């Protein structure tokens, strides 16, 4: 998929406008009053957001123009549903909406055929999840989704798995301050725990040489099999900070063991 071309869907990406925070606020006030011109300006001012999202799907064989159009649908939905009173950045709210719209498009065009009934269950679950996130600013559990749509959680899990496209563990999902978080950083490992790899004294010594915070992160990640996001929530720092501290800790341990 060629994402380095200047023109996508007739839009010159090199000349896309960038809105200041003040301009965004003023435009949204006008949008609330039904000003269609302000809505169009806000859409154009956020097209760079769509471009940044479709780059995540660079490994896809889909046409960049098609993904851009679908991404714009997600952007428009985000604009129409955004609540400015929640003190959440528009981009924080819009990116998941754009990604969700593109993923739905890719699932619908997937060569692997999935039954209509499974698709219906999966889409009901996805819509219920998006509505829940808009109202509660957190992801619902499978049980909460099951209760909302009245379908057994096992059926929901099966349906969602059936429509998923394969994703590389090394696909980047977020970047902050030069630290990239990959899919594998968000995957919990319930099997590879302490009993499988922390069994020798040298490794234990390496762990004890870490500072308290690093030791806590290593324990939560590899002893308890928690994801970086779960660790971040538990100790009160960002996922990017967890990733950075984890990498530093593992590097220190390797240096000690190889010394």
The answer to whether 24 and 46 are in contact (CB under 8 A) is no
Q: How far is CA 187 from CA 15, 27, 182, 228, in A?
A: 39, 39, 9, 8
- Give the separation between CA 224 and CA 50, rounded to whole angstroms: 37
| pLDDT at 129 exceeding the cut of 70 | yes
End-to-end Cα distance, the chain = 45
| Residue 21, pLDDT score | 82
Place of tokens 């960002």: 238
Mean pLDDT over 129-149 rounds to 86
Q: What is the pLDDT of residues 233-258, one digit of tens each?
A: 889 888 888 888 988 888 888 887 77
The per-residue pLDDT for 256 is 76
Q: What is the mean pLDDT of residues 186-202?
A: 48
Query: Do the beta carbons of residue 256 and residue 205 sit within 8 Å?
Result: yes
Question: Binning pLDDT at 50, 70 and 90, where does residue 193 land?
Answer: very low
Mean local confidence (pLDDT), 18-42? 87
pLDDT digit string, tens, across residues 12-28: 667 777 888 888 888 88
pLDDT for 149? 92
Dist. CA 141–CA 75, nearest whole Å: 25
């Amino acid at each position: 998929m060629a994402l380095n071309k200047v023109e996508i869907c007739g839009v010159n990406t090199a000349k896309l406008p960038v809105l200041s925070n003040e301009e965004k606020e003023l435009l949204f006030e006008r949008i609330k009053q039904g000003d269609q011109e302000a809505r169009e300006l806000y859409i154009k001012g956020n097209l760079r957001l769509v471009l940044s999202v479709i780059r995540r799907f660079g490994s896809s064989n889909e046409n960049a123009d098609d993904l851009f159009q679908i991404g714009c649908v997600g952007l428009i939905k985000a604009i129409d549903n955004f609540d400015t009173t929640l003190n959440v950045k528009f981009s924080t709210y819009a990116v998941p909406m754009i990604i969700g719209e593109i993923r739905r498009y890719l699932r619908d065009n997937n060569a692997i055929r999935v039954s209509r009934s499974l698709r219906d269950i999966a889409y009901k679950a996805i819509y219920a999840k998006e509505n829940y996130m808009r109202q509660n600013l957190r992801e619902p559990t499978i049980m909460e989704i099951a209760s909302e749509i009245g379908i057994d959680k096992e059926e929901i899990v099966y349906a969602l798995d059936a429509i998923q496209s394969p994703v590389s563990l090394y696909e980047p999902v977020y970047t902050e301050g030069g630290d990239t978080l990959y899919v594998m950083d968000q995957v919990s490992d319930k099997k590879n725990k302490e009993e499988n790899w922390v069994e020798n004294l040298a490794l234990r010594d390496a762990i004890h040489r870490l500072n308290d915070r690093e030791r806590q992160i290593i324990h939560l990640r590899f002893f308890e099999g928690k994801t970086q996001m779960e660790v971040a929530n538990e100790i009160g720092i960002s996922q990017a900070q967890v990733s950075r501290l984890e990498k530093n800790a593992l590097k220190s341990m390797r240096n000690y063991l190889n010394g």
